[in-house]
């Protein structure tokens, strides 16, 4: 990789915590492969400092940033413009600096469904159960809608936040997401304790959109082994977390015959789309994937 100079431009990812992120690995590999004078940096930004951080980034000419937990919704009021898709979903995960101010969109949806679309499956017979009701869950709901899942159910622990999450989708249409699915998003919300009622069936897509199980809390799982044991063999367990690989949740699911998908491919695909938005050129996604796999092999 070329030396950092006074002309080097910055990209980055903002989150809190952020030490676990692999985004710099794949983005800096892509930058090096294309011979660009850029660096991608991880910025740990506390929620109370988000406004200050964006102002500082604009002042020093940061070109663009990925946005992760817990800023995907909080960043939206701070942006000058948001894509129709991100407005509909209610979450932003990629921003870039423009003359009129920060712009934002959502690339998580395409990233989330990429490994699912590669599967041969009748999504119209699949029930999606989503653990968590934060910004990441919003992209998952939209992705399940695009796939055409028979039913989408979201589970959370805070009754008031869960109800607000459900109500926020009542009048949303995602024509900007897929002209094939023009109907309003329809979903059901449930308290976490109700999960066991719905998991004892076949053709499930069970998605963990929470940070439970993320490094360093690698022995944690969002649901118990007893509940996971009810998963049918024709079901999919999908954890948006990509470190460790596999998470405790996926280990439990695999032990009971479920198909396991972690968040690595979602990370690559959403990152590649963001890269193209920032730099206006195709992202070398194969190089990004290889860099991540090599990085993971050194950690194991």
- Tokens 């983005």: give the residue: 27
Neighbours of 88 (CB within 10 A): 20
Angle in degrees, CA 243, 162, 128, rounded to 5: 60
Q: Tell me: is residue 21 an annotated ligand-binding position.
A: yes
Distance CA 238, CA 226 (A): 18
Q: Tell me: is residue 203 an annotated ligand-binding position.
A: no
Q: Tell me: is residue 197 an annotated ligand-binding position.
A: no
Instruction: Return contacts of 53-60, CB within 8 angstroms, 24+ apart.
Output: 53/14, 54/78, 54/102, 57/10, 57/12, 57/97, 58/97, 58/101, 58/102, 60/10
Q: Tell me: is residue 8 an annotated ligand-binding position.
A: no
Q: Tell me: is residue 15 an annotated ligand-binding position.
A: no
Q: Tell me: is residue 271 an annotated ligand-binding position.
A: no
Distance CA 247, CA 215 (A): 9
Q: Tell me: is residue 68 an annotated ligand-binding position.
A: yes
CA 200 centroid distance within chain: 26
Q: Is 72 a catalytic residue?
A: yes
Q: Tell me: is residue 136 an annotated ligand-binding position.
A: yes
Q: Tell me: is residue 239 an annotated ligand-binding position.
A: no
Neighbours of 282 (CB within 10 A): 11
Q: Tell me: is residue 101 an annotated ligand-binding position.
A: no
Tell me, letter by letter, the H, E, C secondary structure of 179-243. CCCCCECCCEEEEHHHHHHHHCCCCEEEEECCCCCCCCCCCCCCCCHHHHCCCCCCCEEEECCCC
Q: Tell me: is residue 135 an annotated ligand-binding position.
A: yes
Q: Tell me: is residue 108 an annotated ligand-binding position.
A: yes
Q: Which of 72, 87, 117, 230 is catalytic?
A: 72
Cis peptide before 15 (omega within 30 of 0): no
**H helices then E strands: how many in the chain?**
11, 12
Distance CA 296, CA 198 (A): 35
Distance CA 63, CA 70 (A): 21
- Residues tagged in the binding site annotation for NADP(+): 132-136, 240, 263
Where in the sequence numbering do the catalytic residues fall?
A: 72
- Residues tagged in the binding site annotation for shikimate: 21-23, 68, 93, 108, 242, 270
- Residues tagged in the binding site annotation: 21-23, 68, 93, 108, 132-136, 240, 242, 263, 270
């Amino acid at each position: 990789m070329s030396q950092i100079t006074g002309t080097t431009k910055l990209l980055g990812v903002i989150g809190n915590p952020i030490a676990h992120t692999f985004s710099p690995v794949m983005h800096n590999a892509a930058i090096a492969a294309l011979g660009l004078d850029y660096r991608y940096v991880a910025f740990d930004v506390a929620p109370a400092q988000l406004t200050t951080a964006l102002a500082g980034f604009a002042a020093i000419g940061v070109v663009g940033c990925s946005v992760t937990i817990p800023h995907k919704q909080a960043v939206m009021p701070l942006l000058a413009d948001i894509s129709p898709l991100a407005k509909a979903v209610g979450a932003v995960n990629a921003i870039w600096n423009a003359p009129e101010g920060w712009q934002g969109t959502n690339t998580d949806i395409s990233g989330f469904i990429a490994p699912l679309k590669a599967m041969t499956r009748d999504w119209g017979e699949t029930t999606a159960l989503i653990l968590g009701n934060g910004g990441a869950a919003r992209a998952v709901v939209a992705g399940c809608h695009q796939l055409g899942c028979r039913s989408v159910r979201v589970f959370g622990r805070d009754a008031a936040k869960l109800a607000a999450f459900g109500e926020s989708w009542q009048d949303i249409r995602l024509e900007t997401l897929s002209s094939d699915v023009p109907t309003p998003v329809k979903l059901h919300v449930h308290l976490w304790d109700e999960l066991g009622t719905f998991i004892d069936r076949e053709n499930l897509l069970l998605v963990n959109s929470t940070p439970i199980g993320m490094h360093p809390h690698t022995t944690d799982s969002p649901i118990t082994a007893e509940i996971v044991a009810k998963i049918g063999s024709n079901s999919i367990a999908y954890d948006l977390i990509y470190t460790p690989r596999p998470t405790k949740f996926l280990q439990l699911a695999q032990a009971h015959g479920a198909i396991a998908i972690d968040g690595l491919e979602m990370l690559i695909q959403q990152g590649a789309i963001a890269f193209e938005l920032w730099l206006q050129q195709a992202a070398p996604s194969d190089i990004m994937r290889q860099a991540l796999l090599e990085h993971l092999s050194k950690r194991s």
